[in-house]
Structure 1
């Protein structure tokens, strides 16, 4: 549905959306690296990366990073902190990033949690859960 409507947007809007996507995906790649859309999961009695991109991670990461493009340099400076924080973050919020739950409430919760992650890493240099 969005693609159908999106194709009817003025060309300038489509260009703006393309720029937003390109800037966001570049920032995500620089800050989070190849594991940007992977999930940290407990499987076979150990925590490890689910070594494939997931929409559960993709949607929230892309949304939150797009909302933080104005502080891209700051996020880049914390790239190593973000990479170290991701496993801790996912262990605290494993339920929220369950791929089987994809209603609007779950999507908004993921966005909110990722937003808190960004704030925590920028402020503290690590993920500090706000529970």
Structure 2
């Protein structure tokens, strides 16, 4: 009942898509390290844009406790990369080909450095699976 009342009362709210001369697929990812006071799990989030139009977004707690901000941000980047890959496949299925590869923005220099240069020391070995997934897509 509550959901139906909400939908009925918010018919003027929605996502608006605007035509673009060039469609660029890009995403912004972020996380808060150990943000949950009870479990110390980080919250990851990302928003994906096609041109200037937001087309997908998420915010959720990570399944495991991150040992550093780099790890939390890196896992957020991996989730955003999976979403960008999925959207790219969908666009190809409807024969919409992008002029450029998708771009992922992240505000953590350490996480960006790990994605560029694979230096896995003892503090980052447990992140290796996400690294290989992200590296494969970059």
User: Which band: TM-score by shorter chain?
Assistant: under 0.3
TM-score (norm 2): 0.24
Q: Which structure shows the bigger proportion of residues in strand conformation?
A: 2
TM-score (norm 1): 0.25
